[in-house]
Amino acid sequence: MPELPFELPPLPTIQQVIFVMIAILTVLGALVVVLARNLFHSALGLVTAFFGAAGVYVVAEAEFIGVSQVLVYVGAISTLITFAIMLTRGMMFGATSPRNRQSGTAAMITILIFLVLTALVGAIPWPQAGEPIVEGQAIIAGLGRSFVNEYVVPFQLLAMLLLVALAGAIVLARDRK
Amino acid sequence: MLSQWGFVLILSAIAVIIPVAAIVLGHFLGPRRPDPVKNETYESGVETIGDTWVQFRAQYYLIGLIFLIFDVEVIFLFPIAVAYADLSFFSVIAAATFVLILILGLFLEWRKGALEWN
Amino acid sequence: MNWSDALIQFQYDLGAPQELSWLIEGITYFIGAFILANAALVLALLLIWITRKVVSRIQDRIGPNRVGRYGLFQTVADAVKLLSKEDITPSTADKVSYLIAPVLAVMGVLMALAVIPFGAGLVGADLNVGVLYLVALGSIGIMAALMAGWGSNNKYALLAGFRVVAQLLSYEIPMVLAMLAPVLLVGTMSMQGISQAQSLYLGPINLGLGWFIFLLPGAFLIYFISALAEAEQTPFDLLEAESELIAGFHIEYSGMKFAMFFLAQFLNSFFLGAIAVVLFLGGWQGPFAGQIPLLGPIYFLAKTFFVYVVIQWVKGTFPRVRVDQMMSFAWKVLVPLVLALILAQMIIMKLPTPMWLNYILVLVANLAVVVAVLNILGKYFQREQVRSKRAFEPKSLIGVMQPARPASGD
């Protein structure tokens, strides 16, 4: 058997294959958001991207975050976005152009964010999981414990923040007479 | 643990294939005689006037916003419920305060009439 | 013994290579998922038959009785009929959302099968986040309704789509909070864990009667009402309202695409009942279920079918509510009550008093909630009765039919 000039990469594990599939799905969804001529289709693309993000969380063994992602982003936020689209005349049917004067600026900012994120991912010394992650149940319980022990002040502040958001929602959405 | 989600993945694939297969089957088994009147929007036999867009109440949007906020708060309660058995009394009071603030928000809405549907 | 472990072991015994473990696991899961999903399809036919039989009995009719024994094959005939119907796509519809919506509706419902425990070791995937997973699937149904409503490009469909989303969103909050009560008690979100916790040991024998409904009747009642709304069943079927609106968000659908929405709705009612069984009615637990494993699935299915029949009973009995009543019942009655219930349970179970006293206090709080909900419902139905009586009794007639007074002076 002749020596190869380079070493063959190891076969991808099934998790890696699934991750790549999910990643492709996410990127495709994101592309639809940007490129679709119909605003509702953009919203559907966004939902696909949200699902993909949830899938990435699950593959990373963060099931709770993954399920929360679906619950909050797919269930609530995309519904809100759709409502907002439908409440606005003109936006509902008929094509909108994905291009306008801000395309150039937007592209530049996006590329910048991409570069910064890539640099960050490369720079951070990620902790290597030496042993398999503890049981999923314990992770969720640990999360719950830290909400009411170490992070009790941020937790209460969060409740206040949500209360303020609620008040803001009422002020914004109430019919002005 | 991850392999459990493998089952979910496979089930989701099957759950997509079943309705797609049924619809494709129905498409080919049924007759196909399209005509312009049949393909019109159904409105009890009357031709549709104007856009599908009619005035929607902003109330729907408000319900969506309220739901979003409650949804986020409920999600925070679930890990606490899982950890409940080994929480101290003080921690439980902290969680209870969280729920109390939630109730406060609900009454705020009630007072401001955001829950009225008229 | 878990079913998947047993199946994997069986394949190794047949001589499957150890290094292909992911493939073996995949085959195992595929077999399990395939059986489950197809069983659900057959189940749907049975469910539609049950619904028609129950509702017709309530309305003093016989119901389907021609095709097969007891009309059992009526739904099969209906399915074949739907299969032979023309597949119409309205010319103004948005093709993408119009076509994806029915698929999504069925998918969101079928995926609930993954975490429902049918017996000890008989659960597709015993996820740690089982309860939240089930709630999250609801968002797929919401998206399907929105897509169908918007994609049909029909005023009725869009209006109904908006309404159904508002209803699903409003009742999701009390439903999730009611599901929190058993989780708080057990300390796990796994459906199998919750089932297992509802055993009751009398010495070494598992009576399997430690059902949470005995301790949390209030949470169960709120879950049940919210589940009715989530399943779009009769008191809350105002988005379908056959006699008022035309059909709801699936008005433009015909043939198999319509059948998919129909299928999704019936299976959804059944699964919401199954979740109620797991969370509150002991799941597969029952007398001697621990000794004889075969009893587990039997108990589970018997209870779930019972809950399903009760749902149909409600459907045949109660009048439909109005939109404003539906919304205010969710936000002004159910949400405050269930929040108070969770708050009470959280604090009571940590009190330094003896445990049995804590349990009694929780039960008392739950009973108070049950009384409150039933009171409000009773008052509402009384009002409705008076209102409908007035609507049907012309005042003039009432005047005529009064007994004639004897003329004075005679």
Over residues C191-213, the pLDDT tens digits come to 999 988 888 877 777 777 888 99
Give me the residues of B, 11-50, that contact A with CB < 8 A.
none
Report yes or no on C90 lying in a domain: yes
The answer to whether residues C149 and C75 belong to one domain is no
> Which CATH number, 1.10.630.10, 3.40.720.10, 3.40.50.1100, 1.20.120.1200, labels domain A11-99?
1.20.120.1200
Number of domains chain C is built from: 2
Q: What is the pLDDT of residue B108?
A: 86
Those chains having 3 or more beta-carbon pairs within 8 angstroms of chain A are B, C
Q: Are the Cβ atoms of A162 and B56 closer than 8 angstroms?
A: no
Residue C59 clears pLDDT 90, i.e. is over it: no
Q: What is the pLDDT of residue A2?
A: 58
**Considering only the top CATH level, what class is B2-112?**
mainly alpha
Q: What is the pLDDT of residue A174?
A: 66
Q: Are the Cβ atoms of A170 and B112 closer than 8 angstroms?
A: yes
Tokens standing for residue C165: 């989303």
Distance (Å) from the alpha carbon of C140 to chain A's nearest alpha carbon: 7
Q: Are the Cβ atoms of A86 and C162 closer than 8 angstroms?
A: yes
Paired residues of C122 in beta bridges: C119
Report yes or no on C395 lying in a domain: no
Q: How far apart are CA C296 and CA A36, in angstroms?
A: 51
Identify all chain B residues contacting A79, using CB atoms and an 8 Å cutoff.
64, 67
Supply the DSSP string of C243-285, one letter for each residue. Answer: TTSSSSTTTT--HHHHHHHHHHHHHHHHHHHHHHHHHHS-TT-
Q: Are the Cβ atoms of C107 and B78 closer than 8 angstroms?
A: no
Tokens standing for residue A172: 């914004």
Identify all chain C residues contacting A47, using CB atoms and an 8 Å cutoff.
143
Q: Where are the domains of chain A?
A: 11-99, 136-177
Q: Where are the domains of chain B?
A: 2-112
The answer to whether residues C306 and C374 belong to one domain is yes
Q: Which of C84, C105, C129 is the last residue of a domain?
A: C84
Give mean pLDDT, residues C259-269.
Answer: 90
Q: Which residue has the tokens 């923040």?
A: A161
Those chains having 3 or more beta-carbon pairs within 8 angstroms of chain B are A, C
Residue C22 clears pLDDT 90, i.e. is over it: no
Q: What is the pLDDT of residue C337?
A: 93
Q: How far apart are CA C353 and CA C15, in angstroms?
A: 59
The residue of chain B with its CA nearest to that of C167 is B63
Are the C-beta atoms of C250 and C261 separated by less than 8 Å? yes
Question: In this predicted model, what pLDDT tens digit does every residue of C123-134 receive, in sequence order?
Answer: 888 888 889 999
Give mean pLDDT, residues A22-44.
Answer: 89
Are the C-beta atoms of C235 and C160 separated by less than 8 Å? no
The answer to whether residues C164 and C80 belong to one domain is no
Higher per-residue pLDDT: A20 or A98:
A20
Q: Which of A97-101, C68-72, C165-169 is most confident?
A: C165-169
- Determine the length of chain A: 177
Q: What is the pLDDT of residue A177?
A: 46
Q: What is the pLDDT of residue C405?
A: 63
Higher per-residue pLDDT: C119 or C16:
C119
Question: In this predicted model, what pLDDT tens digit does every residue of A50-97 receive, in sequence order?
Answer: 999 999 999 888 889 999 999 999 888 988 888 888 777 665 556 666
Nearest to B52 among C36, C155, C183 (CB): C155
What number of other Cβ atoms are within 10 A of residue A167's Cβ? 15
Paired residues of C201 in beta bridges: C206
Rounded to the nearest integer, the mean pLDDT of chain A is 83
Under-70 pLDDT residues of chain B: 1-2, 43-55, 118
Give mean pLDDT, residues C395-403.
Answer: 51
Q: Are the Cβ atoms of A166 and B66 closer than 8 angstroms?
A: yes
Residue C172 clears pLDDT 60, i.e. is over it: yes
Are the C-beta atoms of C342 and C183 separated by less than 8 Å? no
Tokens standing for residue C372: 């409150």
Q: Are the Cβ atoms of C142 and A41 closer than 8 angstroms?
A: no
Residue C402 clears pLDDT 60, i.e. is over it: no
Q: How far apart are CA C361 and CA C382, in angstroms?
A: 31
Q: Which domain holds residue C47?
A: 21-84
Q: What is the pLDDT of residue A133?
A: 62
Return contacts of A160-167, CB within 8 angstroms, 24+ apart.
A160/B101, A162/B69, A162/B72, A162/B73, A162/B101, A162/B102, A162/B105, A163/B101, A163/B104, A163/B105, A163/B108, A165/B69, A166/B66, A166/B69, A166/B105, A166/B108, A166/B109, A167/B105, A167/B108
Paired residues of C206 in beta bridges: C201
Higher per-residue pLDDT: A172 or C368:
C368
Residue A173 clears pLDDT 70, i.e. is over it: no
Distance (Å) from the alpha carbon of B31 to chain A's nearest alpha carbon: 30
Q: How far apart are CA B20 and CA A70, in angstroms?
A: 23
Distance (Å) from the alpha carbon of A120 to chain C's nearest alpha carbon: 31
Q: Which of A3-7, A142-146, C67-71 is most confident?
A: A142-146
Strands C201-202 and C205-206: antiparallel
Nearest to A71 among C127, C136, C150 (CB): C136
Of residues A30, A14, A63, the one with CA closest to residue B82: A63
Identify all chain B residues contacting A77, using CB atoms and an 8 Å cutoff.
68
Give mean pLDDT, residues A126-146.
Answer: 77
Q: Are the Cβ atoms of B82 and C332 closer than 8 angstroms?
A: no
Q: Are the Cβ atoms of C94 and A82 closer than 8 angstroms?
A: no
Q: For a pLDDT cut of 70, what percent of chain A falls above it?
A: 83
Q: What is the pLDDT of residue B58?
A: 76
Rounded to 5 degrees, φ, ψ at C59 are -90, 15
Supply the DSSP string of C358-405, one letter for each residue. Answer: HHHHHHHHHHHHHHHHHHHHHHHHHHHHHHHHHHHS-HHHHHHTSPPP
Q: What is the pLDDT of residue C241?
A: 60
Report yes or no on C277 lying in a domain: yes
- Considering only A162-171, C30-39, C371-380, which range has the smallest mean pLDDT? A162-171
Residue A41 clears pLDDT 80, i.e. is over it: yes
pLDDT interval class at C396 (50, 70, 90): very low
Q: How far apart are CA B22 and CA B33, in angstroms?
A: 20
Question: Which are the contacts of C405, defined by CB distance < 8 A and separation ≥ 6?
Answer: none
- Considering only B101-115, C106-120, C239-253, which range has the smallest mean pLDDT? C239-253
Paired residues of C119 in beta bridges: C122
Q: How far apart are CA C381 and CA C261, in angstroms?
A: 31
Q: What is the pLDDT of residue B113?
A: 76
Tokens standing for residue C9: 């072991």
